[in-house]
Chain A
Amino acid sequence: MEILVCVKRVPDAAENEIAVEGGAIRGDDLVYSVNEWDNYAVEEAIQIVEREGGSVTVVTVGDGDAEEVLRREMAMGANQGLLLSDPAFAGADGLGLATILAAAVRKGAYDLVLTGALADDGAAQVGGMLAALLDWPFASLVNLVEVDGSRLRVGREIEGGTQEVSDIDLPCVLSIQTGINEPRYVGLRGIRKVASVEIPVLDAAALGVTPAAAKVRRLDYFVPPAGAGADMLTGTTAELAGQLLGLLKAKGGIK
């Protein structure tokens, strides 16, 4: 099974407090990492290849900095990386990104393309658009993958903790939900091992794409107003515990 996994470098929302200044995300001290959902997608691809044979390629759209997320995923066990980079790609919207990625898929011979179900700074759209551009079947929010010959049995996580099980023909695109597996630990040794591996870079000309003008543009960022109802308690730890105890008792929170 030849698997392509699309990954993205994003500000790490777990590590950062995302702050807004002048309508933009304050970027000077942001820590970046691989989008959390994408780690699950890469782990799933590696596990499929361990069972079925084949190889895993990780791909991203971005500038030179984006290469670090490819190396991280290669250290995790992906066999090769592919960087899609061109100044013309800057400002691409979801459709723009999907168009660039679709061109890369067509240049290869992949049986399966995985994406994360969503990105912290995204909108859960690239996987579905990519599938539509390729005219491949698609399943989103996937939390189970079993290979069965030329098709897969996939589970989708739907509302209320229920899993929707379907059969899907290959080749297809799946967007992977967190919790499907346990992404393996990436050690320093793994990172050193891939540090000098050459990563091919494809630009717009090599891919033969010109992303269309974005139909959706972000105008600005802002911090939503805090809820009017929240009563913020302050004090020492002991004082806070005392106040909270009183409130919980009054509201029937202590039985």
Chain B
Amino acid sequence: MATVFAYIAHAGGRADDSALELLAAVRTLFPGADPVALVAGSGPSLEAACQEAAASFAEVWKFDQEALAYPNAELLRPLLARVLPPGALVLLPHSTLGMDLGPGLAVKLGAAYLPDVVGGSPLEGTSLQAVRQEFSGQVSAHVACDVSGGAVVTLRSGAFKAEPSRSAGGRVVDRSADAGGLSARRRFVKLVQAEAGDIDITREDVLVSVGRGIGDKENIALVEELAEAMGAALCCSRPIVDAKWLEKPRQVGTSGQTVKPKVYLALGISGSFQHLGGIKGSPFLVAVNKNPKAPIFQAASVGIVADLLELVPALTEAIQKGK
């Protein structure tokens, strides 16, 4: 088997949670492989991240360059294309960085690209069989990937359960000299944090969340009434923010807020992984959706197949009467 590499995302001197998930994925997809961790950055925070990676990976390649202080895929792509051996198997998190870096890296390496993997079987010969999801998780697919010329594989966050490290005291190899002279036609300028709204949904115990199933902007009032009756905060999935029916600070999901409520009532939300990725701590999750096959029912504690426009007013009334 060709060498397996895992790209370690890190910030503030800490390796991202994805690092151990990549390791778990290696054990599932490439059992027996001893993956090499790739850690790029600059200065003391890079060093700290390398030391953390060395607790789980037997070998860590460190790339220390000022230009890499912020993870810019336009710099990382030529760097990795330069240092990785032919036929390399490269694992990346399917994060906003992985999505930016992966497709072009596969082209530059002449390798196959297998994105957003949620499961799979051990490599047989040169064929890797994996599971992907389509149509916002409504259906899954088995895919076969020919890895004979190498492969870039991105892994969905949470799909492979992070395991504690297996090895300790891995070797950090300084490959910084290989990362010299990088320049990019896309230059990082700044990060802009989301505007703080009048509500912080990350601090709420009870959330009423509304999705595309609400149909019309006018119907938002129905869920506002319900949230008020429950004493809950109102939040939503991405399409509601895209349509500007509610403001961005109320968006739950990987591109919005990560919430940790005790009770989460999901109304008309299909349950894409991006949305579910924003809910931590296994709340009591009640899902109401017209589509009995909506993926949200796979994650829910309690499910109701119903039209929320009928159920929500009835529930609001029941709460008001019961109080």
- List residues of chain A with CB under 8 Å of any chain B CB: 11, 13-14, 17-20, 25, 94-95, 98, 120-129, 131-133, 136-141, 153-169, 172, 178-179, 182, 215-227, 229-233, 237-238, 240-242, 244-245, 247-249, 251-255
Q: Is there an interface contact between A167 and B304, defined as CB atoms closer than 8 Å?
A: no
Stretch with Cβ within 8 A of A (4 or more), from B29-37, B55-63, B161-169, B309-317: B309-317
Complex: A172 Cα to B136 Cα, angstroms: 28
How many residues of B are in contact with the other chain, CB < 8 A? 97
Question: Which of A169, A229, A252, A254 is within 8 Å of B186, CB to CB?
Answer: A169
A-B contact pairs, 16 of them (CB 8 A): A120-B135, A125-B102, A137-B74, A138-B104, A140-B100, A160-B194, A164-B96, A172-B186, A219-B142, A224-B133, A224-B139, A232-B297, A244-B318, A253-B232, A254-B206, A255-B206
- In whole Å, how far is A30's beta carbon from the nearest beta carbon of chain B? 11
Q: Is there an interface contact between A121 and B242, defined as CB atoms closer than 8 Å?
A: no
Q: Which residues of A contact B112 (CB under 8 A)?
A: 215-216
Q: Is there an interface contact between A138 and B100, defined as CB atoms closer than 8 Å?
A: yes
Question: Which of A13, A125, A133, A159 is within 8 Å of B115, CB to CB?
Answer: A125
Is residue B107 within 8 Å, beta carbon to beta carbon, of the partner chain?
Answer: yes
Beta-carbon contacts under 8 Å, B118-144 to A: 129, 132-144
Complex: A202 Cα to B58 Cα, angstroms: 52
Interface centre among B241, B297, B305, B319 (most CB of A within 10 A): B319
Q: Quick one: closest B residue to A40, CB to CB?
A: B242
Complex: A232 Cα to B288 Cα, angstroms: 10
Q: Is there an interface contact between A18 and B286, defined as CB atoms closer than 8 Å?
A: no
Is residue B2 within 8 Å, beta carbon to beta carbon, of the partner chain?
Answer: no
Is residue B248 within 8 Å, beta carbon to beta carbon, of the partner chain?
Answer: yes
Q: Which residues of A contact B263 (CB under 8 A)?
A: 248, 251-253
Asked if A95 meets B113 with Cβ closer than 8 Å, knowing A11-B135, A165-B192, A240-B306, the reply is yes
Q: Is there an interface contact between A237 and B314, defined as CB atoms closer than 8 Å?
A: yes
Q: Which residues of B contact A95 (CB under 8 A)?
A: 106-107, 113
Is residue B219 within 8 Å, beta carbon to beta carbon, of the partner chain?
Answer: no
Asked if A161 meets B194 with Cβ closer than 8 Å, knowing A245-B318, A253-B265, the reply is yes
Q: Quick one: closest B residue to A102, CB to CB?
A: B107
Q: Tally A-B pairs: CB < 8 A.
A: 273
Complex: A156 Cα to B212 Cα, angstroms: 24
Interface centre among B77, B99, B249 (most CB of A within 10 A): B99
Q: Which residues of B contact A172 (CB under 8 A)?
A: 185-186
Asked if A215 meets B186 with Cβ closer than 8 Å, knowing A125-B103, A179-B242, A244-B315, the reply is no
Is residue B209 within 8 Å, beta carbon to beta carbon, of the partner chain?
Answer: no
Q: Which residues of A contact B242 (CB under 8 A)?
A: 178-179
Is residue B300 within 8 Å, beta carbon to beta carbon, of the partner chain?
Answer: yes
Q: Which 5 A-B pairs have the closest CB atoms?
A: A255-B231, A128-B103, A161-B194, A132-B104, A253-B263
- In whole Å, how far is A32's beta carbon from the nearest beta carbon of chain B? 13
Q: Is there an interface contact between B238 and A240, defined as CB atoms closer than 8 Å?
A: no
Is residue B178 within 8 Å, beta carbon to beta carbon, of the partner chain?
Answer: no
Q: Which residues of B contact A128 (CB under 8 A)?
A: 99-104, 107
Question: Which of A178, A233, A242 is within 8 Å of B238, CB to CB?
Answer: A178
Interface centre among B97, B138, B145, B286 (most CB of A within 10 A): B138
Complex: A219 Cα to B206 Cα, angstroms: 42
